[in-house]
Amino acid sequence: MFTDMVGYTALMQQDEQTASTLRRKHRRVLDRLVAEHSGKTLQYFGDGTLTVFDSAIEAVLCAIAIQGELQTDPQVPLRIGLSLGDVAYDDDGIYGDGVNLASRIESISVAGSVLVSETIFREVRNQPTISCERLGLFKFKNVQQPTDVYAVTNAGLVVPDRAHVDGKLDKMPENSLAILPLANLTNDPKHDCFCDGIAEELINTLAPVDGLAVISRTSTFKFRNTAEDPQTIGNKLGVSHVLEGSVRCDDETVRVSVRLVDATNGFQIWSDVFDHTLAHVLDVQAEIASNLLRHIQESIGTAPRQDRSVETSTTDGEAYNHFLRGKYYWNKWTPDATLKAIDSFQAALEIDPDYSETLCALSNCYTFLGSCGQLQPALAFGKAYEYVLAALERDANSATAHHAIATLKFMYQWDWEGAEASFRKALDLHLDSADFHQTYATFLAAVGRFDEAIERMKRANRLDPLSLSVLSHLGDLYVFARDFDKALECYDEVLELDPTFRTALESKGVGLFAAGRKEECVAPLAEYRRLSPDPMRGVTVPGMIHAMLGDTAYAHECLALIERRHEQNPEQSVQIDLALVNIGLGEYARATECLLRACKDKTGVACLGLIYIFRCSVFEDFHRYPGFRQIESVTGLTAEPSGSHSRA
């Protein structure tokens, strides 16, 4: 049996006396109850323990009793994992497959819960005083075979949501699906957007289904035109099922062929061919989605908790085709392609003015153009609001629309309470996309709730496992939480996949500096700057860190380049850039002036820059500057985080 206190490390940093009180209670309760149930604690380590028992039944009864007593004041947030197996120990440590597996199971537990392996479950399932519920099959790191995990459900215990568990996992839980881009068999590039659109809309349709984890297009579309088989792709993405297929179409008809593959063994579960006219392409999507859910249920023996059919706010095939073309351009994430996307979405709207998904898409396009400085913020965000409000008028239960308006309230209005309400509404409507969790995580970091932010970003990473951006941003959250080892692990993993990924190089430099490893932080920042396509860009963070290291000449050189860039393009704001370098130089009054101007502009870039300034520990001296109170007043934020983080 492994036990571990949740949040202990962070609590020690904030309130050592309370942390010590909870730890003593944990030890006192555990020692007494372990003895009562004929167990023996072999190891105490920080806020955790390793205990062995002669009987699986006694071990589970002990775990139930421990959680029961720890729920009384002062409550001790403890997670417990149990497994059955041989244990060997000597002067150097404690070993055994059972020990390793119990540790892995404990890692996916939550405060107040007791999780057990299938071997434990088989020993206790006929006990009238013990009740259990299957969470599902999990593939743990350094455990060769997938493991069935059960939650003990006795009164007073917490049962984790299996669709959102996290821990020392190699793979997604079962009921997970990757939808690959559909091959265009017409050999006509003009149909690429149609093929991609069908696959993406299947992802969007199935993602809200409770109990079904659907991988983001960002990761799945990296396997376009690959020679790798579905089993290999499924293993790379960590899913139980893979859907692949093809599209053949002309100006009037469409044929979609699909097959569902069990990624654990490569066997085909189901295949079918759907023939329709282009005007009825929505029927194809509905039939595929419905059949997918049914066959996944039959394959695994358990069903997603809610079988949703395709829901779209248009029945017009031509409008839908324009919508798919717009999504094709939108996913290129460039200003020029976004303008083309707007044209396609507008064409769809002219055919069907009540097409709410198109209204949401237009809102996202203008939010993007305003955030990256391609349009004046007031104009861009004004249009974005206009479109998303129109979408909500047509469909008040559109999760996508609530996500879009949450993003606007967060990035532009800085309406923290309103943004939170809209994020929660989207969550209540079962929105479960990587993009949503990444945005929500960034918001949670902004308001200082690091524990929640990290869990959201982990969910985004699990749904989009090949996204370098998501993994790099997870590292940023660990920096904010001062868990620098985990942060650097994230950055190093990104750079192992792509040594030229500049965001991770920049963040790694800051993370190393924040961790006190100042001699090491210069190299990644130098590489970050070297890889910049524009010599006047990529100088802000290097300038700030060099200033903090005492190299003021380097910092002033960077300031000059930033000012020259602004002279060449006065429409783009550089106030955050100027503020950061001036903070590094200790010119706090000048930095405050720049930040106040950035706050007035309210660009998305300003919001993201301010999050870093409020939450990263390298700015602590600036937080103590009296003028910083003006920034807190204007933004509605405080430099004190409202959440903690556990390294456990």
Where residue 68 sits, what CATH number does that domain have? Answer: 3.30.70.1230
157 found inside a domain: yes
Report the range out of 334-348, 480-494, 538-552 with the highest average pLDDT.
538-552
Query: Which has the minimum average pLDDT: 160-169, 430-439, 593-602?
Result: 160-169
Looking at residue 525, its pLDDT comes to 96
Of 428, 447, 471, the position where a domain reaches its end is 428
Q: At 310, which amino acid appears?
A: V
Give tens-digit pLDDT for 505-528. Answer: 999 999 999 999 999 999 999 999
Looking at residue 306, its pLDDT comes to 46
Higher pLDDT, 78 or 186: 78
Both structure tokens of 9: 């490390």
| pLDDT range class, residue 310, cuts 50, 70, 90 | very low
Asked if residue 443 has pLDDT above 80, the reply is: yes
Same domain for 462 and 488, yes or no, is: yes
171 found inside a domain: no
Bridge partners (DSSP) listed for residue 272 = 258
Contact 6, 642 (CB under 8 A): no
Q: At 89, which amino acid appears?
A: Y
Cα–Cα nearest to 238, from 137, 103, 109: 137
User: Three-state DSSP class for 40?
Assistant: strand
Q: How many domains does the chain have?
A: 4
Contact 558, 583 (CB under 8 A): no
Looking at residue 279, its pLDDT comes to 67
Same domain for 360 and 491, yes or no, is: no
Asked if residue 452 has pLDDT above 70, the reply is: yes
Where residue 374 sits, what CATH number does that domain have? Answer: 1.25.40.10
Asked if residue 88 has pLDDT above 90, the reply is: no
User: Three-state DSSP class for 246?
Assistant: strand
Query: Cα–Cα distance between 390 and 404 in angstroms, integer?
Result: 12
Contact 355, 347 (CB under 8 A): no
Query: Which has the minimum average pLDDT: 199-213, 393-407, 504-518?
Result: 199-213
Query: Which has the minimum average pLDDT: 539-553, 605-619, 625-639?
Result: 605-619
How many alpha carbons lie under 13 Å from residue 414 in its C-beta half-sphere?
21
224 found inside a domain: yes
The continuous run of DSSP H or E covering 170 comes out as: none
643 found inside a domain: no
644 found inside a domain: no
308 found inside a domain: no
What does DSSP say about strands 213-214 and 176-179: parallel, antiparallel, or unpaired? Answer: parallel
Of 265, 300, 335, the position where a domain reaches its end is 300
Query: Cα–Cα distance between 453 and 447 in angstroms, integer?
Result: 10
| pLDDT range class, residue 646, cuts 50, 70, 90 | very low
Same domain for 151 and 28, yes or no, is: yes
Give tens-digit pLDDT for 48-75. Answer: 899 999 999 999 999 999 999 999 999 9
| pLDDT range class, residue 297, cuts 50, 70, 90 | low
Same domain for 186 and 292, yes or no, is: yes
Same domain for 232 and 289, yes or no, is: yes
Same domain for 422 and 439, yes or no, is: no
CA-based end-to-end distance of the chain: 16
Query: Cα–Cα distance between 202 and 292 in angstroms, integer?
Result: 10
Contact 512, 536 (CB under 8 A): no
Query: Cα–Cα distance between 266 and 269 in angstroms, integer?
Result: 9
Where residue 248 sits, what CATH number does that domain have? Answer: 3.40.50.10610
Which residue shows structure tokens 């039939």?
Answer: 287
User: Three-state DSSP class for 608?
Assistant: helix
Both structure tokens of 470: 């998501």
Same domain for 137 and 67, yes or no, is: yes
| pLDDT range class, residue 603, cuts 50, 70, 90 | low
Q: Mean pLDDT for the chain?
A: 86
Same domain for 185 and 151, yes or no, is: no
Query: Which has the minimum average pLDDT: 199-203, 418-422, 541-545?
Result: 199-203
Same domain for 484 and 465, yes or no, is: yes
DSSP calls for 270-287: EEEEEEEEGGGHHHHHHH
646 found inside a domain: no
Query: Cα–Cα distance between 70 and 364 in angstroms, integer?
Result: 47
Residue 45 sits in which domain range? 2-164
Same domain for 245 and 273, yes or no, is: yes
Looking at residue 509, its pLDDT comes to 97
642 found inside a domain: no
DSSP calls for 427-442: HHTT---HHHHHHHHH
Query: Cα–Cα distance between 305 and 486 in angstroms, integer?
Result: 34
Same domain for 143 and 85, yes or no, is: yes
The continuous run of DSSP H or E covering 4 comes out as: strand 2-5
Give tens-digit pLDDT for 627-637. Answer: 999 999 999 99
Of 393, 428, 463, the position where a domain reaches its end is 428
What does DSSP say about strands 48-53 and 93-95: parallel, antiparallel, or unpaired? Answer: unpaired
